[in-house]
Structure formats: structure tokens, C-alpha cells
Amino acid sequence: MKKLISEIKNCTICEPHLDLGAKPIVSFTENSKILLISQAPGRIAHEKNIAWEDPSGKILRNWLNVTMDEFYNPDNFAIFPLGFCYPGKGKTGDKPPRKECAPLWHSSVMKKFENVQLKILIGGYSQNYYLPNHKKENLTTKVKNYQNYLPEFFVLPHPSPRNRFWMQKNPWFEKDVIPELQKIIKHIIP
């Protein structure tokens, strides 16, 4: 696994397409219990070289009900986005994750995990990649019906503060879905 992580951290396959260059940001061990599969690191993650150390990460940790130490312990949580590098700024937010990373790396890394108990699919890109038979369902429908994907997957919207209108429009999410997610996390990481 260490060799694989080293290869990933040195990957430059999509460098010509990245605004700030290649800087793969992942964190996992063969013992990771929960996979956090999101779209790609943001600009702040690229600058700090650490994923989820931004307002979105604070929201995500609140949803998971975990401490910083629990969250950044790679035996607890694998940080494993679809695109490992910051893709750059788009018109209404970050660009989509580069399409090279997941097909190149995900299956070989997945084979190395020994203790994964849950894969959390954060946002539409990861859900479309890992739930290809459900692409026609919108994110709200998937999240509302999260039980359909258990026990392997738990689906979440992206925790970006930009999604505050989605949260306001869907109060059932924090009332019904988040408590269930927290129960599952507490069972895996007591």
C-alpha cells in the first residue's frame, strides 16, 4: 500500500489540464474503515496540502460527528476522491474532477483495503461513478433514499457552504439522514 500511495502522490498524468499543477491529495491505509469518496480537493486543500481543512470539511466532520483527530486518522477515514488534484476554478465553482484518476487508480487501491466497512459517496460525481445504474436519479432522490445503498454505500450531498440553499430546502436531511449516518459511524469508530 505504501508503494501505491507513493505512486499516486507522484502522479502527473493530468498535469497539463490543471490550473495549479498536479498535487495529488489522498490519505489512507490498508486498515481504513470508512472511505470518503468525493469529487476532488479544492483550492484550499491544494494550498495547504491537506483535504477537508476548509469550511466544507468542518461541515462534513459535524455531519459525521467526529473530532479532527478521528477524522484525520487514516485507519478511520480514507480520503479518496475521484480526482486526486485540484481541477481548477470553473464558472460556478470548481471544475469537475479530472476523468483520468478514478479509472487509473481506484480499482487497484480498492483491492488493497482490508477493513472497509462503509463507503461514503459525497456529491453527485462520486455517486454517478460508483452507482452507475442510478445516474438518472438526482442527488436529492439518492440522498433521501440513502437506505437503498446500504450497507456498502452512504450517499451525501457535498458539504460545501454553497449548498446552504439545498439544506434549507431539504430540512429532512439534517433531521433524518444525519442522525442515521452518525449512528453508523459511531458503530464503526466507537
pLDDT of 164 reads 93
Q: Which domain holds residue 77?
A: 2-188
pLDDT of 92 reads 84
The CA distance from 61 to 43, in Å, is 19
The CA distance from 154 to 143, in Å, is 8
Whether 16 shows a pLDDT value over 90: the answer reads: yes
Whether 93 shows a pLDDT value over 90: the answer reads: no
pLDDT tens for residues 29-74?
Answer: 999 999 999 999 999 999 999 999 999 999 999 999 999 999 999 9
Amino acid occupying residue 127: Q
DSSP string, 84-119: SS---B-SSSBPPPPSSHIIIIIHHHHTT-S---EE
Q: How far is CA 162 from the centre of its chain?
A: 17
CATH of the domain at 37: 3.40.470.10
> Taking the alpha carbons of 50, 80, 136, 184 in that order, is the dihedral positive or negative?
negative
Within the chain, what is the greatest distance between any pair of CA atoms? 45
Cα–Cα nearest to 185, from 82, 54, 79, 35 = 35
DSSP string, 37-90: E-S---HHHHHHT-TT-SHHHHHHHHHHT--HHHHT-TTTEEE--SSSS---B-
pLDDT tens for residues 81-90?
Answer: 999 999 999 9
Q: How many structural domains does the chain have?
A: 1
CB-CB neighbours of 74 under 10 Å: 17
Q: Are 63 and 143 in contact (CB under 8 A)?
A: no
